[in-house]
Amino acid sequence: MQVLQVQLEVGPDPAEVGRARRWARSRLAGSGIGDDEPLAETLILLISELVTNAVVHTGCPAVLRMLFGGPGVRVEVADASDRAPARRQAGGEDTNGRGLELVDGLADRWGWQREGAGKRIWCEIDRAEKSTSDGATDGPPEIHPSMREPRVYL
């Protein structure tokens, strides 16, 4: 099986998150995943969350990778920080602290591993839609519009 890997270096600036989203959209389109497909929207949201976490919580440059091949798409964000990713408990009115919860809810699989002096956080999305017990397909869950844009942590 042939796997296509593309990557983007991301600077330690919250403005880089928007650049990463634009870059990812163009790479998804180039791989045959249309902008209007639910898979594309889910992947862009996951990329936003992972890149935002890397940029904001580490203050280090990062590398965003997307791997296409096989049954799904894998997204990886590697950074130079040795701090493990940590889930936060966001309250009902909090505007941040839900990034890893979103990743957990949207990705089919995710995890992290140490890489050199830093770490790599990854997630995978299967391309095939899952079918429910009545035979209907179950696309990605609906996300409230306020959760589609990354939050800036100051």
Does 154 map to a domain? Answer: no
Residue 58 located in a structural domain:
yes
Q: Is residue 153 part of a domain?
A: no
Residue pointed to by tokens 């956080």: 121
Per-residue pLDDT of the chain (154 residues; tens, 9 = 90+): 678 899 999 999 999 999 999 999 999 998 889 888 999 999 999 999 999 999 988 888 999 999 998 788 999 999 999 888 877 676 666 556 567 888 989 999 999 999 999 999 999 999 865 434 444 444 443 433 333 344 333 3
In a domain, 117, yes or no: yes
Q: Is position 101 within any domain?
A: yes
Cα 62 to Cα 27, 46, 81, 109, distances in angstroms: 18, 15, 9, 21
Q: What's the number of domains the chain is made of?
A: 1
47 belongs to a structural domain: yes
CATH of the domain at 21: 3.30.565.10
Q: Which domain holds residue 111?
A: 4-147
Least Cα distance to 103 among 152, 67, 58, 140 occurs for 140
- pTM value? 0.77
Q: Which of 105, 108, 115, 38 is nearest to 74 (CA)?
A: 108
